[in-house]
Structure 1
């Protein structure tokens, strides 16, 4: 009987470990348009505030478990409306710890994670997951992309958002 119980427990553990990332989805977004002053840690511009509201609309039907932002005003302001709408607190991460952050995210129990970063960190973070960049670079004036990382499928899907900005 003990052997049977041990076998069942080991099988359950193996299944839970192998399915750890089965449904994990990570959304990565660059902060919205920033103001020009102060130049070291500017807030969002008016267009950026509008885009942050559009981001909230884009995620309205998507359940999010955890939200991460770098510790810059523009990233926190970009995701604040989403966090408030979902009733979630923001967690701060170090943008340049690509490998460490990727490992932490893979180990998290959260299935759906939203991360707000920067033009010079998002693509590098995607690579830290062992995935190819969905584009060569994020241009300085490019704020409309949402990168959806399907961890189990090892793929990145690119979406755009921002209703005010579509022509």
Structure 2
């Protein structure tokens, strides 16, 4: 009986001490092409809407557990087709505190997360997760990158998506 209790305790201890982020994958994408008006919170252009549908197609065989977006029309519209396809709600996050958001992401008990952000937040969020940024910056006209962060491996895989780019 003592051996059984010791084995159960050991199994519980190993499970509790294992890294819950080993299999966690976080996808980060910059919003798709945006309109120029209104200046402070524009919607997507026609090209941007097409790109958001292409992004949903990219995720057709990937089940997303949680979707996050900043509270801007363009970021929410970028991931809306995925949210609709997978019957998920889009949660809003504050890009002004990326360290706190990174902690929240690491503590989540889900495996696959999608984040829609901006050219000046995506790479910074990757760094806040404790991983080296895959490129120096995202240019103003660069909308085709999808960053796949594998937390357990501490690595980033950069994908290119959109109707102009087929993998």
TM range (shorter): over 0.9
Name the CA distance, whole Å, in 2 between partners of 1:56 and 1:72. Answer: 19
Q: Which moved more, 1:65-74 or 1:9-18?
A: 9-18
SS at match of 1:15: helix
For 2:135, the equivalent position in structure 1 comes to 135
SS at match of 1:156: strand
SS at match of 1:109: coil
1:50-65 alignment runs, 5 A limit: 50-65=50-65
For 2:14, the equivalent position in structure 1 comes to 14
1:26-41 alignment runs, 5 A limit: 26-41=26-41
Name the CA distance, whole Å, in 1 between partners of 2:17 and 2:99. Answer: 20
1:75-90 alignment runs, 5 A limit: 75-90=75-90
SS at match of 1:119: coil
Pairing 1:42–2:42 present: yes
Name the CA distance, whole Å, in 2 between partners of 1:67 and 1:43. Answer: 19
For 2:120, the equivalent position in structure 1 comes to 120
Name the CA distance, whole Å, in 2 between partners of 1:116 and 1:16. Answer: 31
Cα deviation for residue 9 of structure 1 reads 3.2
Q: How many residues end up aligned between the 2 structures?
A: 166
Structure 2: 5+ residue stretches without partners: none
Name the CA distance, whole Å, in 2 between partners of 1:13 and 1:90. Answer: 35
Name the CA distance, whole Å, in 2 between partners of 1:13 and 1:108. Answer: 20
Name the CA distance, whole Å, in 2 between partners of 1:9 and 1:33. Answer: 53
Structure 1: 5+ residue stretches without partners: none
SS at match of 1:11: helix
